[in-house]
Structure 1
Amino acid sequence: MFGTSGIRGPVGDEVTADLALAVGRALGIDTDRVVVGRDPRESGRLLTDALTAGLRESGTDVLDLGLAATPTVGRAVAWEDADAGVSVTASHNPPQDNGIKLWQPSGQAFDGELRERISERVREGDAALVGWDQLGDRTAVDVTDRHREQLVEHVDLGRPLTVVVDVGNGAGGVTVDALDALGCDVETLNAQPDGSFPGRPSEPTAENCQSLATLVTESDADLGIAHDGDADRMRAVTADGDFLSGDVLLALFGRAAASAGERVAVPVDTSLAVADYLAEADIATTRTPVGDVYVAAAASESDVAFGGEPSGAWIWPEETLCPDGPLAACKIAALAAERPLADRAGDIETYPIRRTSVEVAEKRAVMDRIRETVTERYDDVSTLDGVRIDRGDGWLLLRASGTQPLVRITAEARDSARADELFAEATEILEAAR
């Protein structure tokens, strides 16, 4: 039921009010106080009502943040001395989807053990309902201003900037407020919350952010910022209108956050360019499975100064273990204030990387066969998440999608011809296992 990013799927099919009610009842068994927020999708209203009903009839008090960025929800669990937090969101998914993601007081998403506990209760229909005179309260709470204040407190801009923020019709308006409070001249795109995402698709990719890149260039802005629907992701555009890759952003953030001898947590599909750039400053990388919950778990270790995913999730563990797109926006603005992002990105040597996704009927069985074949044939193999083979001058990765009947192939090397060879090698491994 839960993937690494919580529950997600089409509304009325996989995600229903019945499911939200059941999750509320399951979470209410061992919580007294829960923070709940949602992104702008219209379906989020009824799902929040259903989930809140399940919590309240379990005797749990609900602090309702209403429309709120996911990192605001993640931070608010500790602020409000709550036992858990719930984001009703499908993040960067299309408008027909919605979902439920659960948060711990640390700001980290529910890990596998906690997710399985809730799933088991939902499957079994477990609940601990109370009498009419013990129902939990539902109280409206606004903590967005506190989130903005935290961002301003932890970021110092050396000079005022001109910034274009593409909110993506999502819940990330706190970024605009924080940059304004930091003295920036802020222009917005798609700033009106609208869960049908009329301005652009919710996921902030280079293709979807062409209008942002154009506006940054034409307005002589210092940089552009883009969020997804719940603002847990952040992507950036240079003053020249170039959309920075997730690997380049990860390298920039990691180098700025970590000191020599420290580590940066990265998922297994991260480019070699990140490790090479960080190694120049004696900063090591530690690989995790794909998913912000795994990056957050690694980032909670004492010598890990930063964690991130090239998809746009960035974690500064000293501030929160929740991916915080608005915080990332302020951090990248601070870097741009010191030195143009294009110049910084130019310091990072990037390598050819090949990616594709292949539809398969039985992805688990296919991955089992791949794992058996690869571990017999190759010496340097990691099965941390899928199967990753280190070939010295490059690597290849085969891993099953967490939500779709797909096996994803990635291959990278420091020259193009070798990347093509490794990609062909990975494709042959998959075809032999189908």
Structure 2
Amino acid sequence: MSQLIISVSGLRGIVGETLTPDIACRFVASFAASAPPGPIVIGRDGRTTGPMLRNAIVAGLAACGRDCIDADVAATPTIGVLVRESGAAGGVQISASHNPPTYNGIKLFGADGRVLDAVSGAKIRDGFLEGRAGWCAFDKVGEVRQAEDPHTPHLKKVLATIDVEAVKKTGFHVLLDSNHGAGGVLGVRLLEALGCQVESVGVEPTGQFAHVPEPTAENLTDIASRVAQGDCAVGFCQDPDADRLALIDENGRYIGEEATLALCVRRAMEVGRTNGPIVINGATSSMSTLVAKSFGVETFRSSVGEANVADMMIARSAAYGGEGNGGPIDPSVGYVRDSFVGMAQVLDLMARTGKPLSQLADELPVQHIYKDKAAVAAERLPALFEKLTAHFQDADADTGDGLRLQWPDAWLLVRGSNTEPIIRMIAEAETVDKAKALCDQARTLLG
């Protein structure tokens, strides 16, 4: 039997094995015991097990005296906006992101509409493991109400970041692949509001994924062909909870997730969002760093994880940020990775420059990422990091999140997995061969 994946940001498991209604109920009961007074927003992606878990979660929260605002099917960033707009005490998103259909999970939001920070998340995780709950008396049980339109506040915030009329004038023909997750509900509304001719694929939130849910090149070959054959200007591909966005250009070429953030950073710089730094995580491509640098804007790197990026963005008063898995974070919308921000702002960049996506992608700094992994027990990591630091003496070393080695034209990140007894090695350089060589050298030092 697989293990329940539980961390400071929530939990994830196989439904019927490690994730059961009882576990979901007890986990949100711990959340209710820690959250400030007020209702809790609940949303879900399109997975078939979502309604069942929603019922268990509503029961658990109501039994703790919490009123619930049910957004039904909604994207993860939409839940963040709705928490703030409704003055809620927090939010619960039912999703397993890009995991296979057998999985589902729970992601928690604070009253500020962002994924819980590490300290708050650890408190809830520990409370769950200890059996902490805030069960209430019969006359204090909470109630549930449906959110009339959970998507409009998010839509308005995204549209406010761009020149809507300029995009409308182009009449872009676009393909949207939501893969039967949560993204199609708002995605179609957004693109139609921008005057796009939309070819919709998998926008019904049935949870019956048409392809492997993670929006990588190998999983999107059919979609890429449809973009090219359909004479589309761009293909937008979301993951099931729509916080990540991959791009396909008009020629059917997979531009990818790293380019999503880099193009959004370029667009942010070009419209004057240079009054603060950008923040990315330690595993994100330097493309965004180099784009920001060309505008005289500094980049800071956080530990891997959306909550860590958001923490540093707030601490540094960042103008923009995100993660290289296709998750731009625009503070004017919310401190949550957001595929809708990505779609709107990439279209805005195309409209402003008059350039096709292929040309914009080709203008990005050339960088290549290579990834590898190896079985290494957690207790061996400190000694391994010492060996790596001694071997790569010409690199600047940072041990804030595993070990990150930085050279002027390359970097290597070695960090332990949060869920498996392995290490992940990620390198980036101007060529794939050089990036692979850095990972290979690290592997030879494992002993």
Structure 1 match to 2:109: 103
Task: Please report how far the alpha carbon of residue 423 of structure 1 lies from its aligned counterpart in structure 2 after TM superposition.
Answer: 2.5
Q: How far apart, in 1, do the equivalents of 2:153 and 2:287 lie?
A: 36
SS in 2 for 1:252: helix
Q: 2:196 aligns with which of 184, 196, 216?
A: 184
Q: Tell me how many residue pairs correspond in the alignment.
A: 428
Q: 1:169 aligns with which of 157, 180, 189?
A: 180
Q: How far apart, in 2, do the equivalents of 1:82 and 1:315 lie?
A: 21
1:68-79 matches, cutoff 5 A: 68-79=74-85
Which amino acid in 2 is paired with 1:151? V
Structure 2 match to 1:233: 244
Q: 2:366 aligns with which of 350, 367, 384?
A: 350
SS in 2 for 1:74: helix
Of 62-71 and 256-265, deviating more is 256-265
Of 255-264 and 63-72, deviating more is 255-264
Which amino acid in 1 is paired with 2:159? V
Does the CA contact (< 8 Å) of 1:354 and 1:411 recur in 2? yes
Normalising by structure 1, we get a TM-score of 0.93
SS in 2 for 1:332: helix
Q: How far apart, in 2, do the equivalents of 1:415 and 1:232 lie?
A: 29
1:23-422 matches, cutoff 5 A: 23-29=27-33, 30=35, 31-141=37-147, 142-157=149-164, 158=166, 159=169, 160-173=171-184, 174-197=186-209, 199-258=210-269, 259-260=273-274, 262-301=276-315, 303-338=317-352, 339-360=355-376, 362=377, 364-376=378-390, 378=393, 380-415=396-431, 418-422=434-438
Q: How far apart, in 2, do the equivalents of 1:277 and 1:221 lie?
A: 26
Structure 2 match to 1:6: 10
Task: Please report how far the alpha carbon of residue 273 of structure 1 lies from its aligned counterpart in structure 2 after TM superposition.
Answer: 3.2
Q: How far apart, in 1, do the equivalents of 2:336 and 2:179 lie?
A: 20
Q: How far apart, in 2, do the equivalents of 1:186 and 1:346 lie?
A: 25
Task: Please report how far the alpha carbon of residue 302 of structure 1 lies from its aligned counterpart in structure 2 after TM superposition.
Answer: 5.0
Unaligned regions of 5+ residues in structure 2, if any? Answer: none
Task: Please report how far the alpha carbon of residue 82 of structure 1 lies from its aligned counterpart in structure 2 after TM superposition.
Answer: 0.3
Does the CA contact (< 8 Å) of 2:9 and 2:108 recur in 1? no
Give deviations 1:38-80, integer Å, cap 9, x for gaps: 1111222121111111111111111111111111111111111
Task: Please report how far the alpha carbon of residue 403 of structure 1 lies from its aligned counterpart in structure 2 after TM superposition.
Answer: 2.3
Pair 1:195–1:417, CA change in 2 (3 A): closer
Q: How far apart, in 2, do the equivalents of 1:215 and 1:415 lie?
A: 30
SS in 1 for 2:265: helix
SS in 2 for 1:300: helix
Q: How far apart, in 1, do the equivalents of 2:286 and 2:65 lie?
A: 50
Q: How far apart, in 2, do the equivalents of 1:144 and 1:103 lie?
A: 17
Give deviations 1:250-271, integer Å, cap 9, x for gaps: 2221122244463111111223
Task: Please report how far the alpha carbon of residue 391 of structure 1 lies from its aligned counterpart in structure 2 after TM superposition.
Answer: 3.6
Does the CA contact (< 8 Å) of 1:296 and 1:317 recur in 2? no
Task: Please report how far the alpha carbon of residue 88 of structure 1 lies from its aligned counterpart in structure 2 after TM superposition.
Answer: 0.7
Task: Please report how far the alpha carbon of residue 106 of structure 1 lies from its aligned counterpart in structure 2 after TM superposition.
Answer: 2.3
Unaligned regions of 5+ residues in structure 1, if any? Answer: none
SS in 1 for 2:113: coil
Of 350-359 and 15-24, deviating more is 350-359
Q: How far apart, in 1, do the equivalents of 2:140 and 2:435 lie?
A: 63
Normalising by structure 2, we get a TM-score of 0.90
Does the CA contact (< 8 Å) of 1:411 and 1:426 recur in 2? no
Pair 1:25–1:272, CA change in 2 (3 A): closer
Does the CA contact (< 8 Å) of 2:82 and 2:153 recur in 1? no
Does the CA contact (< 8 Å) of 1:59 and 1:134 recur in 2? yes
Pair 1:16–1:416, CA change in 2 (3 A): closer
Which amino acid in 2 is paired with 1:342? S
Which amino acid in 1 is paired with 2:387? T
Pair 1:154–1:411, CA change in 2 (3 A): closer
Q: How far apart, in 2, do the equivalents of 1:149 and 1:250 lie?
A: 21
Q: How far apart, in 1, do the equivalents of 2:81 and 2:68 lie?
A: 16
SS in 2 for 1:304: coil
1:426 paired to 2:442: yes
Does the CA contact (< 8 Å) of 2:45 and 2:240 recur in 1? yes
Structure 2 match to 1:18: 22
Give deviations 1:205-232, integer Å, cap 9, x for gaps: 1111222211221121111101111111
Q: How far apart, in 1, do the equivalents of 2:40 and 2:257 lie?
A: 33
